[in-house]
Amino acid sequence: MEAMTTLELAQLVDEAIAAARLVPSANEYEAVGEPLRKAAGAGARAVEMGLEMLGSDDPVVRATGCDLLGTAFNGNDEPARSVAAALVDLADRETNGDVLWSAAAALQFASDPITIPVLVRLAVHPDSGIRFQTALALAPALLDHPDDNGVEALIRLTADPEPEVRNWATFGLGRQVDVDSLEVRDALWARVDDPYEDARIEGICSLARRHDRRALPLVAGLLAADNPYVWVFDAAGWLANESLLPLLERYEDDDIEPVITQCDPTRRRTRDEICAQVLRLVQECLDDRRLGHTASLYCDVWDYQSPTLSIDATGSGKVWCVAVVLEVCAGDPHAAARRIVDQFAGETH
């Protein structure tokens, strides 16, 4: 594919700006998005142009610049700190609603804690569209940095007057961010009677993710309904309660086997015994080869899948899902242990 010329890039951006002047609101920007997706193919040059557009006196150009930056990073590498900082600086001083909407939309792809203060301020903006984009952006920013102010803002958004704001804020707080407190649980519990079904289901499943037993009858009710969302099965796995087995066994789906295992005490015990055997065999193999490392098993409190095995001082942070390795090795614990140690030795020598 031929590289995009500077003229072609400029023409695409001009097309997006012209479309932005015609759309009735920032929420209807597909005509803007199509040329911007093509422009994003220019890579670093598209980013440079987007940054230049943020300094325009024309709010349509500034908003389109935000859209271009968000599009350029959507699904690609995280933006550099300088790009996130430029968007934050713009949002800090911006008064135009359409520009703020686009800035908040672009910030969700930053996943950078430097965005949290400005997002906290936007979380109380009178425009529901801006609050919606803020709800989408807050959770990624909080993933590795559970800032108290950011979490409080997300909690407030779970009670927003707009249903979709509540829905996405509850999803972000409940199933994206690994935080737990009485305040968080109270916010999630407040959603279990939400008249908006998606927000209600998010509240129920998010409580289950925190192993909150109050969610058990609510999850059972969701499983009893036809065609539950896939994350309802996740909720059952988090609760790990035998009473859910009759409801789960109604579904002929191999994908929910880990959930059934988690809820069945006998199957769960067998799984854990095999994982412990793999751990012992891995350690014996490490010792036999005099590699000087220690293996360990752990289970993520936020997950219900097979325990994870790690070997200390791997450098790259390599870990293995024991169930996956066993599947590759036809269920043979000895073969699974050899495979894990072979991979570890190959990466460290």
Query: If you count DSSP H runs as helices and E runs as strands, how many of each does the chain have, helices first?
Result: 19, 3
Of 115, 147, 119, nearest in space to 132 by CA: 119
Bridge partners (DSSP) listed for residue 297: 309
Other C-beta atoms lying within 10 Å of the C-beta of residue 109: 24
* DSSP H/E element including 298: strand 295-298
Q: What phi-psi label fits residue 299: left (phi over 0), alpha (psi between -120 and 50 degrees) or beta?
A: beta
Q: Name every residue whose Cβ is closer than 8 Å to that of residue 66 and which is 6 or more positions away in sequence.
A: 50, 54, 87, 90, 99, 102, 103, 105, 106
Spatial distance between the Cα atoms of 139 and 169, rounded to a whole number of angstroms: 8
Instruction: Look at the alpha carbons of 309, 143, 203, 231 in this order and tell me if their dihedral is positive or negative.
Output: negative
Neighbours of 186 (CB within 10 A): 11
Length of the chain: 349
Alpha-carbon Rg for the chain in angstroms: 24
d(CA 256, CA 249): 9
Pick from 103, 111, 52, 41: nearest CA to 80:
111
- Which pLDDT does position 80 carry in this prediction? 80
Per-residue model confidence (pLDDT) at position 79: 66
pLDDT at residue 315, as a whole number: 54
Give Cα 164 distance to the centre of its chain.
17
Instruction: Flag residues of the chain having pLDDT under 50.
Output: 1
pLDDT at site 1: 46
Q: Please state the separation of Cα 27 from the chain's center in Å.
A: 23
Q: Residue 156 and residue 194: Cα distance in Å, rounded?
A: 15
Instruction: Give the span between the Cα atoms of 179 and 175, in whole angstroms.
Output: 10
**Burial status of residue 192 (CB atoms within 10 A of its CB: 0-12, 13-18, 19 or more):** middle
Q: How far is CA 49 from the centre of its chain?
A: 29
